[in-house]
Amino acid sequence: GAYDGTAGVAAAVALAAWFVERGQPPQADLIVTVTRAEESVWFPVSYAGSRMALGRLHPEELEARRRDTGRTLAEHMREQGFDPDAIRGLTPLRKGRFVEVHIEQGPVLSAAGDTFALVTGIRGGLRYRTAQIHGAWAHSGAAPRAARADSVFAFADLVTALDSDWAETLARGEDLAVTFGIVDAASPVHAMAKVPGELGFCLDLRSDDKAILERTDAKLAIRIAGIEAQRPGIQFALGPQSHSMPVQLSAVLLEGLRQAALALYRPLPEMLSGGGHDAAAFAAAGWDAAMLFVRNEHGSHNPDEAMHPQDLAEAVAVLAHWLDHKQDGN
């Protein structure tokens, strides 16, 4: 999308430009930070850029393999002109405060008629990126129902079971999101008239509570054991798990931004971020971190992302007001 990430960079530059144009600096140092590789589309490594800067990337994560090329993060960095070894010995950034402006990635603000919001926390994720269901290939007309080990039917069992577990979790007032982003029973070995013996899938679980992620993961194992028992010949192989921890953002920063918005405009709505963001990496490193979400009408991670520049300008004005009126001087 055109705004995911870029809007935040534009906001930080606009904020700095505002103080430059006024000719009078804010009460605290303002550093515009641009990080790369927040998204972990290709490598099973979350927040790679910010965690490198924070000195929190484990050396073995540089050896993580890109899902299409099979080559490591370090190899790809070298190819792009970067030096992964320099990162190994990097002195971590000195702790400070981190504020991130980002388009909302869902429809919540637009639907409520709000222009921007305070983000109070960032969901953590628990992911299986290369899960497989192994069954038995068979002729679609000739294999009797009882003799089949059909990976698509086993997959459907899993999805409907997790769908119902998900609904129950929400009904208890707990936070959870369940997504199967990729489902692959479409390789050249599959055919219309074959009982599918293999299916690959990705599973992405998210919650603001680590305990809920762990409980859902335990429930997943029970569901899988149940399906394997009911469908002889079916075997799940979830593969490696990757995860990121849920984080609460800084109560102190949030209060400052809350007051600034109230002074300039109105009370701000508050919400959770379902998507992961670099602010989570800063918070996990012990920084005070905060986020503002700007509404976006068509979801994110797609070509239809939409943002009104006026909404972003309002969010930047709140940051400027907060920096001008900070009481603690940090």
Closer by beta carbon to a copy of itself, 37 or else 199: 199
Q: What's the token pair of residue 136?
A: 């038995």
CB-side neighbour CA atoms (13 Å) of 135? 26
Q: Helix (H, G, I), strand (E, B), or coil: what is residue 126?
A: strand
State the Cα–Cα distance between residues 216 and 222, nearest whole angstrom: 10
Closer by beta carbon to a copy of itself, 26 or else 275: 275
Closer by beta carbon to a copy of itself, 34 or else 170: 170
Least distance from C-beta 69 to a copy of itself, angstroms?
15
In DSSP notation, 232-278 reads TT-EEE---EEEE--EEPPHHHHHHHHHHHHHHT-PPPEEEESS--H
Least distance from C-beta 193 to a copy of itself, angstroms?
6
Closer by beta carbon to a copy of itself, 260 or else 300: 300
Which residues, in sequence order, are CB contacts of 207 under 8 Å at separation 6+?
Answer: 123, 124, 174, 175, 176, 177, 213, 216, 246
State the Cα–Cα distance between residues 185 and 133, nearest whole angstrom: 10
Answer yes or no: are the C-beta atoms of 288 and 252 closer than 8 Å. yes
Q: What is the DSSP letter of 65?
A: B
Closer by beta carbon to a copy of itself, 139 or else 266: 139
Closer by beta carbon to a copy of itself, 111 or else 264: 111
Q: What's the token pair of residue 155?
A: 């997959």
Least distance from C-beta 98 to a copy of itself, angstroms?
20
Least distance from C-beta 78 to a copy of itself, angstroms?
25
Binding site for a copy of itself (CB under 8 A): 39, 41, 104-108, 111, 123, 125, 127, 129, 137-145, 147, 150, 152-153, 155-157, 159-160, 163, 166-167, 170, 177, 179-186, 190-196, 199-200, 202, 204, 206, 273-276, 299-302
Least distance from C-beta 123 to a copy of itself, angstroms?
6
Answer yes or no: are the C-beta atoms of 29 and 260 closer than 8 Å. no
Least distance from C-beta 217 to a copy of itself, angstroms?
16
